[in-house]
A and B are shown apart, each in its own frame.
Chain A
Amino acid sequence: MNGERVAFVILCLIFVGLPAAAFGYQHARTAGAGVRVVDLEARLPGVGGWEPEVLRLKAGEPVRLRIHSPDVLHSFAIGRTEVGPVDVVPGQLTEIEFSIDEPGTYTFYCTRWCSTDHWRMRGTLEVVAADGSIPLSSMEPAPYISLGIELDEGRGQPEGQVPAPALAPSAARGAELALSPPPISIADTPAGIFQQLRVSYPGRSDGDLWAVVAHAWQQKARASELVLGENLYSRDCAACHGLDGRGDGIMARDLPEEPRDWTDAERLMGASDALLHGKIVRGGMGTGMPGWGDIYTDAEAWALTDFVRFFGFRP
């Protein structure tokens, strides 16, 4: 073989072999994955968000998502499931493999604050049953609906003329007092329980009675739930509501309505757990507060409710 032929072969390797090898290797990786491979682009919500916005799988079918971000750090998770979150580092392909057995409609979302519109970065995952149907969500309606609580009315004003606690009441102090508060339901407000206690223990100071209220709520919440609630709060809420609940988070500046200051006792004490929970799962229509009902499991939503409650109480 003469030199010119050798040169020609080398040249073919570069102009044909190199591209063929690159695309072929990528194709082989996809085809040889053994599972269905789906590409998902994670863009800033202002320039497209998830692409595609709707994913469709068969129930129980394992799938590998290959997620790519062209701009900033995002993250991927599927609401009300164990899938994710995984970080999506710009320019680095993130692969996640999973299967979902329960047919239905799910929401996948970004868990990393990526712009003021971060919470808009949600997509729909349809898990199709064996018979080809996609059952409607089997979620039970949130309790605020059956209780008839109007989320947008009154904005959680205290019931009647209740003197709000000056300082956040201490649950520990309430425990020491060893009084017996009435049983608490999710429709009760701290202010309501306080009034009942006032009737039962007329001789006690307001401070003591608020401490008992705090203790009563602490009895209700488990420590592990408070930790879960804190993690969710830190991840999803703190950017607007502020790490300490004052409503002064960095993202609050662009909201149509300023978030509530939860350290303001007068407001929080007038709100029942069902109302707080309802606001979390439904969102605040028009205020910029997103709804989390499609994302949190029941346990998560209640854990977050309990955590938020403790902006008004001390342990």
Chain B
Amino acid sequence: MARAVVERGGRRIELTHLLWFRRAIRGRWIQWLVAIFMLAGFVLAILAGLFGTPVGSRNFGVIFVWIVWWAALIALLVPVTGRLWCSVCPLPLPGEWLQRRALIRVRPGRRLHTLGLKWPRTLRNIWLQNGVFLGVALFSAVILTHPRVTALVMGGYALAAILLSLLFERRVFCRFVCPVGGFIGLYSMVAPLELRVKNPAVCRAHKTKDCCTGNENGYGCPWMLYPGKLERNTYCGLCGECVRTCPLDNVAINLRTPGADLAPRVGERRLDEAYKGLIMLTSALLYSAVFLGPWAGVKEAAYNVFTLPWLGYAIGFLVANLLVVPGLLLGAVALGRRLGRTGDQPLRQSFVEYAYALVPLGLAAWVAFSLSFVLINLSYAWPLLSDPFGWGWDLFGTATMPWTPYFSGLVPTLQVAVLLAGLVVAVNVVFKIGSTHAARVRAALPVAGFCSLVTGGFLWLYLG
């Protein structure tokens, strides 16, 4: 552990040092109101999905969930603020309110109203999130285009969050089940924003651990973390409770070097996370081919769920995600070990470590993928502000604004820039990993080549 703390160096700007910022975080209202605003949007999306027009491009639910929110999340919020979305996400709010029997106030000394079951040890990882993500992905052509299905999936998530909060402790849903949370967590390692303790020694010496138990200023960490040992962003939802509860003012929110969490041996390295990185990268690749490519047959196979062509698509999707791309990476890692003549650690461990280089690569790929469908389809959003249900309203006079793709000629250039930037960071991470345990730097070359190859694949899909 000491070593990790030492390696936590690098430049940081403490935002909580600013008085107004600290006040904004410590007071509960700003965060609460933003979350409530999101909740209103969520309720509207569900209502529109259930009762509005079944035409996706004219339904608030589909457009504001899959275009506006998704793009804002993956292309802006995650790269810049990491998990900040989780602190204002409406999904866990009802469950949390039921647990606390409080909407905003803090009631110190009260136990949470929940059966308080412990989440099973075998599920204390993100494999479930990987599975749920893949499961949802197989049906994405339907979910993305049908308002009713979108509403049912969103409503299902909300119900699951409530149910789990009644049965289990704290935010079990967010931490171990939410398929979105899984990749936000992974990609938040890239973000230049973090929550960390200022001095871990202060935490070690502190006996009451208010950040875990809660006090009159706030609740114990809903994410079941001990901030004193926080080394990376992955599972911290930035809810700010520890900033509020810490009696020693030892918790800070910092601006830092982007991607600092990806430096080797910062925190643990795990196979479930490695696979999350592989799954996200592969699905970005497949989505780009299926949804943005010119091959109508593939789209129809993906759309006609539970038919034979769909079965083929589903099997292909899973095999590519779970076997092919991981297999290629494994091959590259094995080749690197041979080139670098390093055998000092198990192959599996090398595989897991190198997979973290796919985090910046995958994030760039998702940004690139989102850029194209967002700039092309954002104009669907304007009429929906006036007529969210497709009921013939015109609240703000925007109801008849036509579909207009924005910057359609510029999209490929932007995609190239984003992808290449992602590759540079990925190569950087690859060599950092390589230098930790290989005597020869060339051990890292095959993985760098793998990253370059994947980037080339994306370039071909977008520009070819």
Contacts and interface: CB of A to CB of B under 8 A. Distances in A.
Touching chains A and B, CB distance < 8 Å: yes
B291 interface: no
Interface stretch (A15-23, A74-82, A187-195, A210-218): A15-23
Nearest to B102: A4
B390 A3 contact: no
A19 B47 contact: yes
* Range class of the A interface residue count: 20 to 34
Contacts of B58: 90-92
A68 B387 CA distance: 14
Given A26-B391, A90-B55, A91-B55, A3 B40 contact: no
Given A19-B47, A90-B58, A93-B391, A8 B39 contact: no
B40 to A, nearest CB: 5
Interface in B351-403: 383, 387-393, 399
B54 interface: yes
A201 interface: no
A32 to B, nearest CB: 14
A114 B36 CA distance: 43
Contacts of A69: 55
A38 to B, nearest CB: 13
Contacts of B29: 3
B38 to A, nearest CB: 10
Q: Which applies to chain A's interface (DSSP): helix, strand, loop or mixed?
A: helix
Nearest to A26: B391
Given A7-B103, A70-B53, A90-B55, A18 B32 contact: no
Contacts of B234: none
Interface string A1-29: 01110011011001100110010011001
A29 B429 CA distance: 59
Interface in B23-68: 29, 32, 36, 39-40, 43-44, 47, 53-55, 57-59
A87 interface: no
A160 to B, nearest CB: 54
A95 interface: yes
B237 to A, nearest CB: 20
Contacts of A173: none
A91 B53 contact: yes
A3 B104 contact: yes
Interface string B83-122: 0000000000000000000111100000000000000000
A112 interface: no
Contacts of A4: 102-105
Contact of A91 (B36, B103, B105, B390): B390
**Best-surrounded residue of B36, B39, B57, B103 (most CB of chain A within 10 A):** B103
Given A18-B47, A19-B47, A91-B58, A7 B389 contact: no
Contact of A7 (B32, B44, B55, B59): B32
A66 B392 CA distance: 9
B47 A11 contact: no
A68 to B, nearest CB: 7
Given A8-B103, A90-B55, A91-B59, A68 B40 contact: no
B103 A11 contact: yes
A18 B39 CA distance: 11
26 contacts: A3-B29, A3-B104, A4-B102, A4-B104, A11-B103, A19-B47, A22-B44, A22-B47, A22-B388, A22-B389, A25-B393, A26-B389, A26-B391, A26-B393, A29-B393, A69-B55, A70-B53, A71-B55, A90-B55, A90-B58, A91-B53, A91-B54, A91-B390, A92-B390, A93-B387, A95-B392
Given A4-B103, A70-B54, A92-B58, 19 more contacts: A4-B104, A8-B103, A11-B36, A11-B103, A14-B36, A15-B43, A18-B43, A18-B44, A22-B44, A22-B47, A26-B391, A26-B393, A66-B392, A91-B55, A92-B383, A92-B387, A93-B387, A93-B390, A93-B391
